[in-house]
Structure 1
Amino acid sequence: MDAVDRSILRELQRNARMTNAELAQRVGLTASPCLRRVRQLEKDGLIRGYRAVLDHDALELGFRTYVTIVMHREDRVTVERFEREVADLSAVIAAYRLFGDPDYLLLVAVQDVAGYERLYREVLCNLPGVGRVTSHLVMKEVKPDQGVPLGGERHP
């Protein structure tokens, strides 16, 4: 992957709906080589797909919370079942297995606090192997997901 590929990826992260001609112009290529590079990036798995970024509040899913989970049982069968069940929960936007304590970090989006309380009580606390569930309510989104850093961005 060279600097042109990085530029293509950076531009597509900003706006994946632009035409190939516009993308080519932004990265300094003609349309055909640009399209070939995009197709190769897709084939190589660097581009896994395209999607719209939706407004949580407009969809009435503005109550977001990060949930940490500590497992009390971590045998293979329990962990696999837990992860399958979490992956099937539509309210869970993202889920990560962590090193150390806690064991998992989930990002959850629901309509309101009552909806989260139901999810917490009826689902999260009853997942296989769960020992402790802790909620960290989002007060304000300071920086939304901007995509993967590809070089040229400001770093600390």
Structure 2
Amino acid sequence: MLMNTKSLVKIDRTDRRILEALQQNGTLNNQQLAEQVGLSPSPCLRRVKALEDAGIILRRVTVLDHKKLGLTLTAIILISMDRHTPERFAAFEEKVIGYPEVQECYLITGQDADYMLKVVVPDMDHYHHFLLNQITRIQGVSGVHSSFVLRRVLDSTALPLGYLGTA
């Protein structure tokens, strides 16, 4: 498997500590972050800015408790397409990106499906409506297989940084 090493950014041990701290708590202000990683505030701010400029830090988000908001049903949907053309895939992706119920969308291989979606809705009635009135109406969708999450065992947004080499 070929990998484009030109797009990889070298990070050192301090950068990794900054990234790990921010993945655990994106609300840390610069002073708190600097104290946590053992830097003074100015160098810490410069490093965070450099990580943002390099495209490593894409954005900071707030993770919400879906159940407390009444979003109690999570579905994993495998979707098959009728034709494997760039135009068909682009049209599908453009549609699902606009659906707020879709949290994740992956073009996949190794299954009898082309896409895998993670969808969060209030209940089965809402899922049924979403499936029949949105997903199955997308041109090119030829098959849908739904699975429902019974329990979240692990739900993390953090990337594993411990194995990365340091510069």
Using structure 1 for the length normalisation, give the TM-score.
0.93
Which of residues 11, 33, 50 in structure 2 aligns to 1:23? Answer: 33
Matched residue, 1:134: 145
Matched-pair contact (CA < 8 Å) for 1:79–1:128: no
User: Partner residue of 1:63?
Assistant: 73
Q: Stretches of 4+ moved more than 3 A in 1?
A: none
Q: Quick one: which amino acid aligns to residue 148 of structure 1?
A: L
Residue 82 of structure 1 is matched in structure 2 by 92
- 114, 128, 131: which one pairs with 1:117? 128
Matched, 1:94 2:129: no
SS in 2 for 1:64: strand
Distance 1:143 1:29 in 2: 32
Give the distance between the partners of 1:115 and 1:124, measured in 2 at CA: 13
How much has 1:121 moved relative to structure 2? 1.1
Report the Cα distance in structure 1 between the residues aligned to 2:123 and 2:73, rounded to whole angstroms.
Answer: 5
Equivalent position SS for 1:68: strand
Query: C-alpha separation between the residues in 2 aligned to 1:31 and 1:128?
Result: 52
- State the 1:44 CA deviation: 0.5
Q: Size of the alignment, in residue pairs? A: 153
Root-mean-square deviation (Å)? 1.4
Q: Percent identity?
A: 37
C-alpha distance in structure 2 between counterparts of 1:81 and 1:19, whole Å: 40
Query: Deviation of residue 106 (structure 1)?
Result: 0.3
1:52 counterpart SS class? coil
Tell me which residue corresponds to 2:63.
Answer: 53
* Gapped regions of structure 2 (runs ≥ 5): 1-10
